[in-house]
A and B are shown apart, each in its own frame.
Chain A
């Protein structure tokens, strides 16, 4: 199952996100790939945390599915 998940993001998109937020920030040319990989990594970790928090929330409310309110509560915690 793990291999079926698409885990690669378009690096160009990641770059664009940073560029639109902070146009004056530059990414070191030689570390370009590394930095964007690391940004992607931190994002993956963030999503994992959010998902787990939302899941425990759902369990506490004895809900079988993760509903919007569980995700909202999780987002506030994280």
Chain B
């Protein structure tokens, strides 16, 4: 039999409220990550309220990005996002230009494990990774 002293299961208002806020906020990158990246690129002291602005603008950035991607994908008559759409997107943002190809950007910005995925590398056994 259950002992009467056993603590009652505490109600979980914390979890419920967390879920609610997540729903209203939607999915977003962790603010600590945004802060970390921004701080790194800024190379100078950053006021605390600035991060709020940065977060807000990155939210808007993602919204815009999704809309653009949708337009490109629809234009190509597809329903799935492909690599070419991303490249086109960055070309439109003037991030990828003739002088600054996508490869260079990948090499400059992404950590090694992502770079390996994006840039085909010939490995031993005459295999090229990634295969697709």
Contacts and interface: CB of A to CB of B under 8 A. Distances in A.
Interface of A: 1-2, 5-10, 13-14, 16-22, 24-28, 30-31, 33-35, 37-48, 50-52, 54-55, 58, 64-68, 70-72, 75
A13 B83 contact: no
Q: What size tier do the contact residues of chain B reach? A: 35 or more
Q: State the main secondary structure of chain A at its contact with B.
A: helix
A40 B110 contact: yes
A18 B93 contact: no
Given A13-B30, A67-B50, 7 more contacts: A1-B40, A2-B40, A6-B37, A13-B29, A38-B90, A42-B86, A71-B57
B12 to A, nearest CB: 23
Interface stretch (B3-11, B13-21, B74-82): B74-82
Interface in B8-44: 26-30, 33-34, 36-38, 40-44
B53 interface: yes
A44 to B, nearest CB: 5
Contacts of B30: 10, 13
Contact of A42 (B26, B90, B117): B90
Contact of A65 (B27, B46, B80, B111): B46
A24 B130 CA distance: 27
Nearest to B63: A21
